[in-house]
Structure 1
């Protein structure tokens, strides 16, 4: 397997070399490199020039305050290390710095040139690169150090972008040479199986994505659009973002990939699509290289996108004043992440004193070009627009600003120095200078020492340490806001993200419309009002607000309303179901209190009535009214008063049986007695007087027998009902299940049959009462029975529809109430007139009732039984 990998690596190297040989003329135009001799050489790759897509070569010089500073940060760090006696004693570090022109293929080519023992002689004409070296101030050609030409680098600082580092790392793996990048953040580079010797002093993109997500969550931006660059940096940034938001309320409305060489119309198409979705997804995350960002801003300008969207940029967003002013007003108010780099004050002193007249042109062959481009002037031997000798970097437009990646370049150089120092201590045993064991440094061994370094950075702010994947252990991001001040743009730091903590100075943020208090919303759906729930669609961030019906709760896992199981009811917030309390008719309810009061009044009246009847048991009026039947009526009334209270007890089997039997028994007992009364009177007065024979079945015993027969027939019906439909307790849901009550099991058919039997008895009683309505005044009890039966008929005509249409919870009380009213009316009509006579109320004492209540002698008395109200009593 190892032989196969070695073969593949060698094949890869030969392929790249053959490409370089074939295109040597086109790629070795006027490129130079900076170098400094030393005992140990460290390579450096920095983006000094831009890449020209028109001729596929290096173009104009890049902004000085970023790239040129990065290169000089390496020079600065090596100079400081060489001036120290406690670090690498007797050993001087040198460097070999090349320009990547912000292109991965050029970075690969320059890496090969640093690895070949004789420079370009191995792949072309090595000395060609020196023909066009920038002249020194005295117009002399810089001397080429012969020793340097024979030296090979032991490690590399850079390159900057992840796209470049991917190619360069593949190449360096072949030669087992460590690489420390100062700004390559792609997560792919942490895969040690492929990038074995790659390290970095900046946090990887996983943390930057985490910081972006925290910013979105902070402002409730739940629906965003994502633009990323083609290649490792952008593609992995997008994959990271997508994987980290799977469990969060954050969705991607659309994603777009932009290639570095994409034509202008591609950017216009992407911007048109972005704006078409900006009614909901107003936040656009840019995980791009700066070149793609700048072109997208130009497309946004052409589409008049200002104020309609807000950009959230990754750490490749440049902070150079020139580029911010040329990126158009559409980027105003945008937020973007920058590597959190500590400020190195001593580097400012070093860099700002550099001029074309004191810079070492061998170390920096691009300085004059940068100076002339930045200050828009010319250096000798030019004769026009000569640069003022008093110019310094502090005179640049917008003022000098130290790049945030400076500290990361310096940390990379110091990491090599500490690793080499530790190696020197162990291999050279404290001997000054290079010993024989370090004449040829093994890159694999050096990489192990790099993984074990631990030192305070030059700003004395944090420890520099690497984990097993070569990633820096500590890191964070500054959050910048692009603000416009007096027609100029500036980058204002408004927050920081460190170790999962987000801190923002929100009052300092200027949003796209220039109003610091206006925060654009970026949501697929608005929050639901209280009482409504989110029914999600295809994405977790998009929903419709729906109201669950009465018996449903909202299941957040399924994002839908679910019916509560039987016997359960949703909580007030409808997030779960609670078991419904099982209740029954209770005495605290208003209707129950009313029934109890009337039952109590009826009971008191009944007791009084019984006492009077017992006390005046031999009174002629009581004897003549048929005492036995009166006692039957009073007994039935007592059962009915009891039944008014029985429904207030918790239903069970004995109560349900009692209720069925007592209702039928009490009603049939009362109106069975009334029926016997009316038929007895009717038979007496329709009897043939010529025979002088008493009618049959008019004795008290016969009357009781007839009543018992009626009650028995009624109880037989109840018995059949009990057999067909056994009594029991059932649970009934009310208010769609919000309330469950226990009631006795009563079917509609059973109630119709039993109520039909009672109705038949009432009808028969009413008929006979009507037939006896014209009896002589001495027999006016029949008249009162007639009145009472008509009143009972009215009660039952109202009761029957009320029973079947009322709330089922009230039905256990409706029957006792109807019985109570019916019997009460009967008792009042039958017993009150008798009581008035018993207590001696005369015609004069009872105004308006004398004619009805007076019992006058009958003209003729046909019977002498004490059971009739005869003349003379």
Structure 2
């Protein structure tokens, strides 16, 4: 408002603060006093007044003095901003948005009552603002400052919402955002396997945005929040009791808290009163380093708390500077007087109290010795927020320095122009601030990403008991985010203090982890962290903990009994070590031995009438073929190989055709002999001489050889791993290759057997010497019965038992032929040699006639 040639401010705010003049001013907003003493009545009948603040916060005052120290250090540095002096204007925001906004307005518009310029022109009083520490305050203030592109660098506001460059184009911060803090917390939860946790957060932008990010991050990892409660700002006892009830009844043993320490005091007092132990508290950076709860009273309940804390740094010379501070009479440094009064319990103005007796408070001299005090103000062992203030000041100074180093014609602005320091535009400083890149004396790199966020790094703290019963902070790890490596969490497991009976990390899960061999099955109506463990099915495995699904084993593998590993399937075949294989091998060798024994008996008695009368040549050929039938069984036993698969059916088919053709020729000879004994059949034997018999057997056998040759050359049997019978085993067998070829082989044998049986049956009553036709009929009956029964038994037998059925059919039919045809003859030869004479044979012939 312009009056009489001057510009006058719309209003003037009385704010506690500190001031130092300079060529350029830097503003600051700090939480030096914490609470309002009186809430002013808003009657609007008198001018509104700013409420009085009290409860001096020594740590925040140290942060404000760190800003002063950093500016003095820059002013004394000839290499940084030479020929320029920085000043400051710092205000106390009293932890209230209204006060903070008044302070920001005062910093932007200036504090001079009048400006002696008719056009009301001039540079802004401050080139940038350090602060505000609160997220809510920073959101409100930077929304306005962003309109003018005035840079604001917060050292403590972590709300991830402030990373939105469209809403907050000139906001920067030297502390990582909540998004990174939340990811770091979830990484810690993941490290210890805590999938079921409680969440408490303050009812402000900091807590609400952090809670939203926490829920999203937990959901991303498949973790669950057992309960989520808002911490009231007004200390509502009903809400506090509800939160306490959730903490007590929940099965979650880990509780994550996003809140400032001041809002947590009522809740933690209730924790002590109700004696709630056995909880692992996870503190956000807002209260992880707070001294409020590090007293012996809270140690049994909050000892072992794990917290995410701002990166600790060291500032050389700060401690001595803090001890040198002294109050003066400058009204613009009234906050120093308030500090002095609080730390020494004195007053710069004597005030009487009471009506009867006047009580006078000790008068401050301003020369009291700070070395005699022991407060958080002088404690520089854990500089965290103060270190962020230090980095913020130097970031602004480096941006100014780079701006002043610009060479005209090579500037970054339109027309390659540089900024004019005498008429500096805020947005020009923002450009340089975005490109700041330097290293502090402590060795930390400082720069900002495209969203104005600093390098993401946190210390991981553990609250451990000290000798006096209080709580001390112990660094147990670090978490940072690298450009190439992503988030990296490093913890020293041996350095942790666990406030539990077993001194080990607690278990905080809704359901115990599913071991390998099982899978997780969600329970309807419950969070995903509450589940049942179901065993994997046959042929499926899970080799990890908490597997969502079981994995099917490859075709040639099967699950082990624990269902946690795929092992090669058991290969099943009829082996020589198998009891069944041993039995069949023994039977095969026994049959071969009996055939050899009969051949020896026939050879020794080859000149006797009974051998000569039964066509000894065909008998020896039949015995040889039976021996081959017994021996071919050995090709069916053992691990199938290509040559055994090709030979087993070929040898089997040819041997049996040789055997059946010999029997067929014997039958035909019997019929021819009978016919030749009659007058009308005198010439019948000329067609069944020795040469004709051999030729007939050879031709009949050759046909089977041709069938086998065509079969083996077109679709040869091969070894085949069959898993159709049972999924848990591989049956190693010989695939027939061509069903047609195998059917022709069996069909030809069946045809010869049927013809032999028919001829033998028709000639069973012929008066031969030793009933040869009857024996052949009986042997062929056995043969046909065995092979007719073989077909359905073979088709219904699984795996190696199908091979056993085929071997049994071969052995049974071979033994049937051997016993039926040769047993009677051997019986006569060995036990009744008196019947093995020509006279006996002639007598029998006469009886038969």
Matched, 1:365 2:334: yes
In structure 1, distance between residues paired with 2:543 and 2:461: 41
2:811 aligned to 820, 835, 843, which one? Answer: 820
Aligned residue number for residue 43 of structure 2: none
Aligned residue number for residue 710 of structure 2: none
CA contact (8 A) 1:336 1:479 kept: yes
Matched, 1:544 2:522: no
Cα drift, residue 595 of structure 1: 4.7
Cα drift, residue 547 of structure 1: 2.5
Q: Which shifted more, 460-469 or 383-392? A: 383-392
Give the 5 Å matches for 1:612-761: 613=602, 617-625=606-614, 627=616, 630-631=619-620, 633-634=622-623, 636-641=625-630, 643-647=632-636, 650=642, 731=722, 733-736=724-727, 738-740=729-731, 741-744=733-736
Which ranges in structure 2 are unaligned for 5 or more consecutive residues? Answer: 1-8, 41-49, 116-121, 352-358, 410-417, 482-486, 708-713
Aligned residue number for residue 336 of structure 1: 307
Deviations 1:762-807 (A, max 9, x none): 99999999999xx9xx969999999999999999999999868754
1:41 aligned to 19, 25, 28, which one? Answer: 25
Cα distance change, pair 224–668 in 1 and its aligned pair in 2 (3 A): farther
Give the 5 Å matches for 1:548-559: 548-552=536-540, 559=548
In structure 2, distance between residues paired with 1:579 and 1:75: 74
RMSD: 5.8
Count of residue correspondences: 774
Cα distance change, pair 230–193 in 1 and its aligned pair in 2 (3 A): same
What SS does the aligned partner of 1:519 have? coil
What SS does the aligned partner of 1:70 have? helix
What SS does the aligned partner of 2:153 have? strand
Give the 5 Å matches for 1:87-166: 87-118=80-111, 152-166=125-139
1:311 aligned to 281, 286, 290, which one? Answer: 281
Deviations 1:505-535 (A, max 9, x none): 33332223276x3101223433333433344
Aligned residue number for residue 414 of structure 2: none
Cα distance change, pair 543–743 in 1 and its aligned pair in 2 (3 A): farther
What SS does the aligned partner of 1:529 have? coil
Aligned residue number for residue 5 of structure 2: none
CA contact (8 A) 2:30 2:133 kept: yes
In structure 1, distance between residues paired with 2:551 and 2:511: 22
CA contact (8 A) 1:727 1:746 kept: no
Aligned residue number for residue 459 of structure 2: 478
CA contact (8 A) 1:553 1:562 kept: yes
In structure 2, distance between residues paired with 1:293 and 1:153: 35
Aligned residue number for residue 349 of structure 1: 320
1:67 aligned to 56, 60, 67, which one? Answer: 60
Cα distance change, pair 319–524 in 1 and its aligned pair in 2 (3 A): same
Aligned residue number for residue 810 of structure 1: 801
CA contact (8 A) 1:298 1:328 kept: no
In structure 2, distance between residues paired with 1:639 and 1:860: 32
CA contact (8 A) 2:519 2:547 kept: no
Matched, 1:497 2:483: no
Cα drift, residue 697 of structure 1: 14
Aligned residue number for residue 470 of structure 2: 488
What SS does the aligned partner of 2:167 have? coil
Cα drift, residue 331 of structure 1: 2.5
Aligned residue number for residue 262 of structure 2: 291
TM-score of the superposition, structure 1-length normalised?
0.71
Deviations 1:588-624 (A, max 9, x none): 8775576556545644654665576467544323024
In structure 2, distance between residues paired with 1:74 and 1:113: 19
2:495 aligned to 503, 508, 515, which one? Answer: 508
Deviations 1:663-703 (A, max 9, x none): 9857866887999999999x99xxxxxx9999999999899
In structure 1, distance between residues paired with 2:27 and 2:553: 71
What SS does the aligned partner of 2:393 have? helix
Cα distance change, pair 779–154 in 1 and its aligned pair in 2 (3 A): closer
Aligned residue number for residue 421 of structure 2: 438
Cα distance change, pair 782–757 in 1 and its aligned pair in 2 (3 A): closer
Cα drift, residue 157 of structure 1: 0.9
Give the 5 Å matches for 1:574-589: none
Deviations 1:351-387 (A, max 9, x none): 13446xx567645423454455556676762656748
2:147 aligned to 170, 174, 180, which one? Answer: 174
1:414 aligned to 394, 405, 412, which one? Answer: 394
What SS does the aligned partner of 2:107 have? helix
CA contact (8 A) 2:626 2:814 kept: yes
What SS does the aligned partner of 1:324 have? coil
Give the 5 Å matches for 1:775-854: 807-824=798-815, 827=818, 831=822
Q: Which shifted more, 821-830 or 68-77? A: 821-830
What SS does the aligned partner of 2:198 have? strand
Cα drift, residue 103 of structure 1: 2.5
Aligned residue number for residue 194 of structure 2: 221
CA contact (8 A) 2:37 2:54 kept: no
Deviations 1:12-57 (A, max 9, x none): xxxxxx9x98xx9xxx7x7423222333222110011224498488
Which ranges in structure 1 are unaligned for 5 or more consecutive residues? Answer: 1-17, 123-148, 430-434, 685-690, 720-725, 839-848
Cα drift, residue 297 of structure 1: 2.8
Aligned residue number for residue 443 of structure 2: 461
Aligned residue number for residue 711 of structure 2: none
Q: Which shifted more, 39-48 or 811-820? A: 811-820
Cα distance change, pair 658–48 in 1 and its aligned pair in 2 (3 A): same
